[in-house]
Chains A and B, each alone.
Chain A
């Protein structure tokens, strides 16, 4: 395989990606790309980011050998990359801090962001509090209902949370409103997109800031096992924790990669969020990517028990990696994710986020098929505290 080097200079990953945005935003994303390229060559910027990641976020996060889970699966060794131990409880902070530093560098004092479950909103509000930036978060009215506590967290951190009532009133609509806000305020505002989606350069920037996950994992796994893992597994909504885990392994042909989408009530129903498995290519939110859409190109609503996977598209780089077959995309239902959440809680004392529970559920299936001398890593992208109301309701109030 040739060395992987994408996106191309136009921000494309094969046919995917690009900059499908209104003309008003073009200048801002061109400037962002220029500034980003300068920043990553700048020692001071990197020092500042790395110091914050170490001393504020708490990196590096452990690569934990889940011995009881491994025994349960009775197959390959299962390791967990503990992104749930990051400050704010998920991988989202890796990107929010990086982009907030970029915003400061560009002299922009205001930040806008979208959020689904609220994890990216909380991470962005946190980074903005730290770096003294004004912060506005758009969040779907439905998600606000589901994630009250995260709304309060964001407000406590000084952010202004704006409820979005349009469309399905979830993440997709929050992105629409954040984009509309950005179009109107582009001169003094930076948009901190929370996943590997949107117009170029966002998918690249978010991937790069999240790649710390895969880079650490690679090194830690080699230290523990003296070789590379046989497989890495991560859940996919927009796809940021997965891209961060996969990217540093992309040229290692021996490492198989699995991206796990939300099958919701099941792929045979129309209540799922499996854009790669059941969708088709199209353009939404500035990029060419796989989408859930009807025959006339209208975007359909996604469904997942986990608000963070509840998005009808998936980042352009994942779309490309699917087409070339480098990553295998599978899906896990609401029910399977809940079971995995309970299992991990009781076997390892770790309550994962519902998003991450999808990856855990698939990893268990995969581990069973592999031999005891093989090993895999699951990206445990976030912790489950935020999901306790949902989980308790689904379990009928008791375990």
Chain B
């Protein structure tokens, strides 16, 4: 069984709330990646999302764009990230999920990428420019190697489509909480709670909220409606500012929910 599937099962059984931090691989150089991963695991992350820098990240806001540019300037490549992940895998137990746009994968070779990812201990993929209409390029190969594709639903996805998307795979549903790109928000649309409940009501998979979540309060607020949160830009920013205790605070906000339940 894939690590993601196992962790999802545990969450369900124990009524836990998940916390998935995102980091940009190669921000501060690839040498920093193993340390960041082990730190996040120790701080209580449920799984870790590892971003691959891309020159044209259309789904990302300023913080992740800037981190991507720094990582590219460090010479970060998809190949080097996979090798680094393989190196850290033996000492890390949480699922590791790669987040990347399609083009670096195509340049790598789609099947070779999936195969190498699998051998490196990568458990899942988040591909923001691969909607279900086009996933035939990747999904059959991912399934062959047992790498989970994590699919996104958004505030603009109709209910029928949410049903269709959440019937696929064995991981979790990534419910986007804003109309827009990644990055911290002061406030969320009033509809977000309803949206998350709607997704929850049709999804047999756990539903995690992401985009714009940046404070312990947001984490608690979102977790009222779903099974966990994904935090990206804020984590990237806190790593850059070396505010490691603030990262621990954020993750703890999800853990508090676990103990209350």
Q: Is the CB of A285 within 8 A of B179?
A: no
CA distance A22 to B61 in the complex (A): 13
CA distance A298 to B59 in the complex (A): 16
CB neighbours of A21 from chain B (8 A): 58, 129, 131
Q: Give the complex CA separation of A167 and B107 in angstroms.
A: 20
How many Å from the CB of A90 to the closest CB on chain B?
26
Q: Which residues of chain B have C-beta atoms less than 8 A from A297's C-beta?
A: 54, 78, 103-108
Residues of A176-203 at the interface with B, using a CB-CB cut-off of 8 Å, are 176, 179-180, 183-187
In the complex, which residues 18-61 of chain A have their Cβ closer than 8 Å to any Cβ of chain B?
A: 18-28
Give the secondary structure class of B's interface: loop
Q: Is the CB of A186 within 8 A of B179?
A: yes
B155 vs chain A, min Cβ distance (A): 7
Q: Mark B8-49, 1 if CB is under 8 A from A, else 0.
A: 000000000000000000000000000000000000000000
B59 touches A176 (CB 8 A): no
Closest Cβ of chain A to B69, distance in Å, is 8
For B172-197 the 0/1 string (1 means CB < 8 A from A) is 00001011110000000000000000
Chain A residues with a Cβ closer than 8 Å to the other chain, count: 38
Residue B55 interfacial (CB < 8 Å)? yes
Any A CB within 8 A of the CB of B77:
yes
Contact of A24 among B108, B133, B154 (CB under 8 A): B154
**Docked pose: A28 CA to B156 CA in angstroms:** 9
* A295–B56 touching, CB < 8 Å: no
Which of the four size classes fits the interface of chain B?
35 or more
In the complex, chain B residues whose CB is within 8 Å of the CB of A3? none
Contacts of B101 in A (CB 8 A): 283
Q: Provide the residues of chain A in CB contact with B102, threshold 8 Å.
A: 20, 282-283
A124 cross-chain contacts in B, Cβ below 8 A: none
Most-contacted residue by chain B among A24, A293, A298 (CB, 10 A): A24
Q: A172 an interface residue at 8 Å Cβ cutoff?
A: yes
**A166 is an interface residue with CB less than 8 A from chain B:** yes
* Complex CA distance for A185 and B10, rounded to whole angstroms: 38
Contact A22–B58 (Cβ < 8 Å): yes
Q: Is the CB of A298 within 8 A of B54?
A: yes
Decide yes or no: A291 and B134 within 8 Å by CB, A26-B157, A299-B56 being known contacts: no
Out of A23, A27, A28, A167, which one reaches B55, CB within 8 Å? Answer: A167
- Whether A19 lies near B156 (C-beta < 8 A) is no
Give CA–CA (A19, B129) in the complex, Å.
8
B253: interface (CB < 8 Å):
no
Residues in B whose Cβ lies below 8 Å from that of A167: 55-56
Which of B129, B133, B158, B176 touches A283 (beta carbons < 8 Å)? B129
Q: Is the CB of B65 within 8 A of A166?
A: yes
Per the bound structure, the CA–CA distance linking A186 and B176 in Å amounts to 15
Residues of A within 8 A of B139 (CB): none
A284 touches B131 (CB 8 A): no
Using CB atoms, name the residue of chain B closest to A24: B154
Which chain B residues numbered 63 to 98 have a C-beta less than 8 Å away from chain A? 65, 72, 77-79
Distance between B108 CB and nearest chain A CB, rounded to angstroms: 7
Residues of chain A lying within 8 A (CB to CB) of residue B176: 23-24
**B128, A22: Cβ atoms closer than 8 Å:** yes
Q: Is B152 an interface residue (CB 8 A)?
A: yes
Contact call B153/A18, Cβ cutoff below 8 A: no
User: Counting CB contacts under 8 A, is A158 at the interface?
Assistant: no
CA distance A294 to B53 in the complex (A): 14
Residues of A within 8 A of B78 (CB): 296-297
A40→B58 CA distance, assembly (Å):
31
Rounded to whole angstroms, the CA-CA distance of A21 and B130 in the bound complex is: 7
Flag whether A281 is at the interface (Cβ < 8 A): yes
Contact B103 A293 (CB under 8 A): yes
Q: State whether A18 touches B56 (Cβ < 8 A).
A: no
Bound complex: CA of A28 vs CA of B77, how far in Å?
33
In the complex, which of the residues A172, A183, A186 contacts B56, with contact meaning CB atoms closer than 8 Å? A172
Q: Which residues of A contact B178 (CB under 8 A)?
A: 184
- Taking CB atoms, residues of chain A closer than 8 Å to B158 are 27
Give the 8 A-B residue pairs with the shortest CB-CB distance, closest first: A297-B107, A184-B180, A297-B104, A297-B103, A283-B102, A24-B154, A298-B55, A299-B55
Known: A22-B131, A24-B155, A299-B56. 12 other contacts (CB 8 A): A19-B131, A22-B129, A23-B156, A167-B56, A176-B56, A180-B58, A183-B179, A184-B178, A296-B77, A297-B105, A297-B106, A298-B55
